[in-house]
């Protein structure tokens, strides 16, 4: 089993939450656009399962140990409560619930990082 780098995991989670928030904002912005289909981001579990392990360069002359390219997140058509007669599937109530989930995720992520940082600081101080 490989060690878990909590700070990298928290960073990846906050990037995913940020991307998800931009998708929700796009859905809300197109709430009145005829024919617009609401979008949703694949779950964070899919991001973790699809993560590739990259080699780390410990020396400048190592071959093929470049920085990992930024991974884009997959989006798909969202499951919505209903579709209007214009073909628009955005429901503001549902999008606001998603925005609330994102907010709770960010608060949780921040809390975990703060606790871990305090544990590290206490360990260093002795």
Structure confidence by residue, pLDDT tens digits, 11-56: 899 999 999 999 999 999 999 899 899 999 988 888 777 655 455 5
Q: Is residue 85 part of a domain?
A: yes
Q: Is residue 72 part of a domain?
A: yes
Nearest to 10 by CA among 121, 120, 108: 108
Neighbours of 24 (CB within 10 A): 24
Q: Is residue 1 part of a domain?
A: no
pLDDT tens by residue, 84-97:
778 888 999 999 99
Q: List the end-to-end C-alpha distance of the chain, in Å, as a whole number.
A: 28
**DSSP-assigned letter for residue 74:** P
Nearest to 21 by CA among 73, 89, 77: 73
Owning domain of residue 66: 6-125
Q: Is residue 37 part of a domain?
A: yes
Number of domains within the chain: 1
Q: What is the pTM of this model?
A: 0.72
Q: Is residue 117 part of a domain?
A: yes
């Amino acid at each position: 089993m490989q060690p878990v780098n909590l700070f990298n995991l928290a960073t990846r989670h906050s990037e995913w939450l940020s991307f998800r928030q931009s998708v929700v904002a796009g859905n809300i912005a197109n709430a009145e656009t005829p024919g617009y289909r609401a979008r949703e981001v694949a779950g964070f579990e899919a991001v973790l399962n699809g993560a590739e392990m990259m080699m780390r360069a410990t020396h400048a002359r190592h071959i093929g140990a470049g920085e990992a390219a930024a991974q884009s997140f997959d989006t798909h058509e969202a499951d919505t409560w209903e579709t209007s007669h214009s073909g628009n599937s955005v429901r503001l109530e549902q999008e606001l619930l998603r925005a609330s989930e994102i907010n709770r995720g960010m608060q949780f992520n921040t809390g975990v990082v703060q606790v871990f940082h305090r544990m590290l600081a206490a360990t260093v101080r002795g």
